Amino acid sequence: MAFQDKPMTLIFEKSVPGRRATRNVDRDVETPFTIREDLLRDAPAELPELSELDIARHFTELSRRNFGVDTGFYPLGSCTMKYNPKVCEQAAVMPGFADLHPLLPQLPGGEMLVQGALAVLHEMDLMLRAICGMGGFTLQPLAGAHGELTGAMIIAAYHRDRGNAKDVILIPDSAHGTNPASAAIAGYDVKTIPSDPHGLMDVDALREHLDDKVAGVMLTCPNTLGLFNPRVKDIADLVHGVDGLMYYDGANLNALLGRCRPGDLGFDIVHLNLHKTFAAPHGGGGPGAGPVGVVERLVDFLPTSVVVAHDDGTYTLDYDRPKSIGYVAPFYGNFGVILKAYTYLLSVGRDGLAAVADNAVLNANYVAAKLREHYDVAVDGLCMHEFVASASRQAAHGVRAIDVAKALIDRGYHPPTVYFPLIVDEAMMIEPTETEGKETLDAFVAAMGEIAELAKSDPEALHAAPTDTPVGRLDETTANRKPDVAAPC
């Protein structure tokens, strides 16, 4: 029996009273006890008691059951699950960075003791400006959606400063799903602009919605169908005509790196996903980083504080920013993730970024062309870094996108994003990224082709998938509403 087939017990179930992995050493140096009595527990924490060997085996076995980009192909559309170079991880754990604390005291002259970290933040700001054509960046936001909210708050601050009474954000139906939520949390009413027959935001419909109430447009570029809108500059001119702002959802920037700058397209605000585009680990709930950049006329609204470089080579933090929206996260952002992205940018360079986009687009179009024999593809013609296939052809045999996704698990692949975007029936959004080789892509296409043939000859086999995992097909609605966290995995 393979280890994956064996039931795995919880670490609490492995606990044996009195068993220890460490021991305290008696010290002959008196150490003052500084924790207040009212903060101490009345009884010991009910933690599992195990040996070091028990612990090592438990978490090693957990890791072997996990699927990640280091273990297999991860074509999760819209999430850019690329391989993360280990040199970036090594930089982040260097003691000089890992042992820093943001509250280290200043020297008597006001110079901060974290000059190296501040230099990284400042240089990262400059690199992101150059990549995106922006006037300044904040590195505080901790995720993409957090960056969206920060951008929406900057839009609100801009209009408040100008005395504009605007309360509407326009968002195309092909945008990322968090855009409407972010705009709503910032206090805006959200109106959806439909797609035209080509899968792009309908410009005529946009015109009908543009009025003095519109604060801005949040545009995913390329959109979730993997399409670049050739009229993006016209759209920006229309929005600016009503004193609105153009917001760039940068989750799909991987397609444009080194080839096109959002600022040159007319965007005023951009958020990036360092944990997608610039090779920091993504998934599992974090950590992430979603820096936000703005054009020069919006720099004063960026969150405080801002790193300032001085002529003598030192760095300080500027808190005197009366128009700032304030803090959006503690300290200066998720520094470890920023450091990994900083290392990545230094390692690939300007030409390397263009190669990233070129190969991401090439891989996506290669897979899309191969899969057209077996699946419908939402839009004819070339795509950018991702595309949306549909299982609507398989639905005639009673097989849906969820069945295809589960069958891929049995074949060693993480499923693509399914049922998004909502504008495509039985959607399967596939993003190969630039880090996958032709052999991997060919094997994935072959697996998808096998599943398509099985949908015609034996659809019930797909309804049962996955069959070689510790947990089989779940009732996902019930599993979400009534999770059984104690069940063996």
Backbone angles phi and psi of 418, in degrees to 5: -115, 150
Residue 85: inside a domain? no
Which strand ranges, in their side-by-side order, compose the sheet holding 189-193?
136-138, 292-294, 269-271, 245-249, 214-220, 168-172, 189-193
Residues 55 and 121 occupy one common structural domain? no
Residue 38: inside a domain? yes
> Mean pLDDT over residues 143-159, rounded?
96
**What pLDDT does residue 3 have?**
45
Tell me which of 347, 363, 396 is where a domain ends: 347
Structure token digits, residue 420: 């998004």
**Integer angstrom CA distances of residue 59 from 18, 129, 145:** 20, 41, 31
Residues 356 and 250 occupy one common structural domain? no
Residues 136 and 249 occupy one common structural domain? yes
Residues 246 and 315 occupy one common structural domain? yes
Q: In this predicted model, what pLDDT tens digit does every residue of 461-480 receive, in sequence order?
A: 999 999 988 788 888 788 78
Q: How confident is the model at residue 112 (pLDDT cuts 50, 70, 90)?
A: confident
**What pLDDT does residue 1 have?**
41
Q: In this predicted model, what pLDDT tens digit does every residue of 355-385 receive, in sequence order?
A: 999 999 999 999 999 999 999 999 999 999 9
Q: In this predicted model, what pLDDT tens digit does every residue of 311-344 receive, in sequence order?
A: 999 998 999 999 999 999 988 889 999 999 999 9
> Mean pLDDT over residues 194-215, rounded?
96
Q: For the chain, how many structural domains are there in total?
A: 3
Q: In this predicted model, what pLDDT tens digit does every residue of 27-55 receive, in sequence order?
A: 777 777 678 888 889 998 899 999 999 99
CATH of the domain at 148: 3.40.640.10
**What pLDDT does residue 33 have?**
66
> How far apart, in whole angstroms, are the C-alpha atoms of residue 394 and residue 406?
14
Residues 440 and 295 occupy one common structural domain? no
Structural domain including 336 reads 91-347
The mean pLDDT value of the chain amounts to 92
Tell me which of 315, 347, 379 is where a domain ends: 347
Q: In this predicted model, what pLDDT tens digit does every residue of 306-317 receive, in sequence order?
A: 999 999 999 989
**What pLDDT does residue 358 have?**
98
Q: pLDDT over 70 for what percent of the chain?
A: 96
Residues 336 and 415 occupy one common structural domain? no
> Mean pLDDT over residues 149-168, rounded?
97
The number of residues in the chain equals 489
Q: How confident is the model at residue 486 (pLDDT cuts 50, 70, 90)?
A: low
**What pLDDT does residue 335 have?**
93
> Mean pLDDT over residues 264-281, rounded?
92
Residues 151 and 197 occupy one common structural domain? yes
Residues 204 and 316 occupy one common structural domain? yes
Residues 338 and 468 occupy one common structural domain? no
Residue 14: inside a domain? yes
Residues 334 and 471 occupy one common structural domain? no
Residue 77: inside a domain? no
Encode burial over 351-387: b for 16+ CB neighbours within 10 A, e otherwise: eebeebbebbbebbbebbebbeebbbbbbeeebbbbb
Tell me which of 318, 347, 376 is where a domain ends: 347
Residue 456: inside a domain? yes
Residues 207 and 335 occupy one common structural domain? yes
> Mean pLDDT over residues 406-419, rounded?
95
What is the sign of the dihedral through the CA atoms of 37, 38, 42 and 48?
negative
> How far apart, in whole angstroms, are the C-alpha atoms of residue 193 and residue 486?
45
Structure token digits, residue 453: 């043939």
Residue 74: inside a domain? no
**What pLDDT does residue 477 have?**
82
> Mean pLDDT over residues 241-258, rounded?
96
Establish whether the linkage from the previous residue to 421 is cis, with ω within 30° of 0: yes
Using alpha carbons, select from 303, 342, 317 the residue that is nearest to residue 140. Answer: 303
Residues 359 and 329 occupy one common structural domain? no
CATH of the domain at 365: 3.90.1150.10
Residue 81: inside a domain? no
Residue 71: inside a domain? no
**What pLDDT does residue 485 have?**
64
**Integer angstrom CA distances of residue 423 from 2, 365, 371, 376:** 42, 21, 20, 14
CB < 8 Å & 24+ apart, contacts of 300-307: 300/324, 301/154, 301/157, 301/158, 301/161, 301/325, 302/136, 302/137, 302/138, 302/154, 303/138, 303/140, 303/150, 303/327, 303/328, 303/329, 305/332, 306/136, 306/138, 307/118, 307/121, 307/122, 307/125, 307/332
